[in-house]
A and B are shown apart, each in its own frame.
Chain A
Amino acid sequence: MPAFLLQVASLLAGSGAGQAQTIEERLGTCLACHGSEGTSEQPGVPSLGGQPTLYVAMQLYFFREGRRPATVMTETTRGLSDDELRELSERVSGLPAPQAPEKASDQERYERGAVLAREHRCQSCHGRDLSGRDQVPRIAPQREDYSLRSLAEYKSGRRIGHGASMPEVVAPLSEADLADLAHFLAHFRP
């Protein structure tokens, strides 16, 4: 079992999953993996700082209802009320947005990703600084491994999202394109 899954398992067990928890305790469970300052250090786990509140609420809803594939998140949100989801999404989105590293590790891939982002109109919905709005997520800077997995899930149809916009956007992109895009998003500085 990957380390972070063990961590979640112990958090859930330690805090008495299923019993009433305060919002602070629940938030602690979120931030143990997603990063207490809004930036995730865990492989595959997205940074949530500065995400639009509505986007977070919608994803929490999808996880709770088992409509977005993610075992840990489905477990973590099980039984939470609408009000709890609402409050958690407000708290999480209030954390500071992640900062991009000074320099892309691979400038060529960064440039290729930038061209793809332009051609496929990422900014049209996600905003000129890619910070998102409402149900549209902040996509940069974001962990490269998480962005790549998200894009791949939209491409395979595992994830459809609200509005089915993303499956259509990624349909003409190759796996290499998705990797370049994810690299660009990880190192993007507005």
Chain B
Amino acid sequence: MALAGFSWFGTSLAAALLIAMAGMPPAAAQQQEEEPSWAVGRPKNEEAARMAPIAQSPFPTAADKLPVAKLKVPEGFKVETWSSGILDARGLRQGDDGTVFVSSLFLAGKIYAVRDRGGKREVKTIAEGLEAANGIEYHKGALYVATPKEILRYDAIEANLDSPPKPVKVFDDLPGDAPHGWKFIKIGPDGKLYVPVGAPCNICLPSERHALIMRINPDGSGKEVVARGVRNTVGFDFHPQTGELWFTDNQRDWLAEDMPLDELNRVTEPGKQHFGYPFCHSGLMTDPEFGWGRSCDEFTRPAALLGPHAAPLGMRFYTGTMFPQQYRNAIFIARHGPWNRTKKDADVAVAFLDADGRVRSVEPFLTGFVENNNYLGRPADVMVMKDGSILVSDDHNGAIYRISFGG
């Protein structure tokens, strides 16, 4: 999610206004003064004046009030509620024995475990009191949990859902900022844990420790940077055939209604590529403040553009066999939807790749999350189940939907 932060832009805007006013003829300056001083420079349009991160209730939506009947999928697919009452449901991972682990972000501070009991889902809270623990991963029987400050490991988790073990601290060499400090983590085909560190701001010159994706050994050793110029990735996965890392990235706020466009990126040379932030956005435009003297040609361009302020979060390559052949190795992407834009839109999109691994098209797949420009729900992560169906988390309602084909 692209979050508020406008200190740099706000300061420069105010400075520009002061300079502009100093050179104004007296009549114009007089006119400006008729507005109370606190109001100078605010957007004139009431909608823009009220643009804020989207509200989220601290109470999950009751099962019978979920918008599932309004959700749409392509012909032959079916969408249903898989589980509900999971406040702030975000990241999804499945254990070897079938447990679905669910993370949360700002509200709940919890990690949940969902078990399928004869067609009914049983939800347990297995950890609580965590701060922004959005990042989870299941690997060799253990659950990894990442907060902005540290990565923890809960061993033999599935055998101990009722009394989870005390976690082992794996890694804490992280800046721990509140803005964009929350994580998405995943084990790569190289057996390493991939960990992002976002920019600690909307737009600023990040330190060497920020705006990157790194990888570490599962024991926390061997840290190395994989990609730079990454503002805030909250979703990535590895191509099932090439092993290449693909990631979504949330671009800066407050530039314009329709710019910049959020990105889907492809890492072809780990450790060598820079994806543009804060100098170039969307591979299309240099930043009005940090882009002077720079060119978008210096940076790796996005593999696909996913829409203005669209907030693409979790993404997964489709590795199942339940869906038709064309979906094999396509990428499902949860677009959480903008707050920093007047027109709202949210969906799960699907990106189809060609034989060379280039994005052929990006199409809406699960839609119906917006009614009268209000969110009915907001997808946060997607996950391919062992049976080939996919789960979609909705943090707005605290629910998980399942999409299946045929049958």
Contact = CB atoms under 8 A, between A and B. Distances in A.
A164 B132 contact: yes
Nearest to B182: A164
B339 to A, nearest CB: 9
A133 B46 CA distance: 13
Contacts of B178: 157, 160, 164, 167-168
Nearest to A157: B178
Interface in A117-165: 117-121, 123-128, 133-136, 157, 160-165
A57 B58 contact: yes
Nearest to B201: A168
Q: Chain A contact residues (Cβ within 8 angstroms of B): what range?
A: 35 or more
Nearest to A167: B178
B49 A163 contact: no
B107 A120 contact: no
A127 B49 contact: yes
B179 interface: yes
Contact of B14 (A54, A58, A61, A115): A115
A135 B56 contact: yes
B290 interface: no
Contacts of A168: 3-5, 7, 178-179, 200-202
Given A115-B37, A124-B49, A136-B52, A61 B58 contact: yes
A108 to B, nearest CB: 13
B4 A160 contact: no
Contact of B51 (A57, A114, A125, A162): A125
Nearest to B42: A123
A169 B109 contact: no
A66 interface: yes
B55 A135 contact: yes
Interface in A36-73: 54, 57-58, 60-62, 65-67
A57 B42 contact: no
A168 B1 CA distance: 14
B52 to A, nearest CB: 4
A23 interface: no
A22 to B, nearest CB: 21
Contacts of A184: 38
A118 B41 contact: yes
A82 interface: yes
A95 B385 CA distance: 49
Nearest to A111: B37
B38 A160 contact: no
Given A62-B58, A115-B37, A167-B179, 7 more contacts: A54-B57, A123-B49, A124-B42, A124-B49, A125-B50, A128-B42, A160-B106
Interface of B: 1, 3-7, 10-11, 13-14, 36-43, 46, 48-53, 55-59, 106-107, 109, 128-129, 131-132, 177-182, 200-202
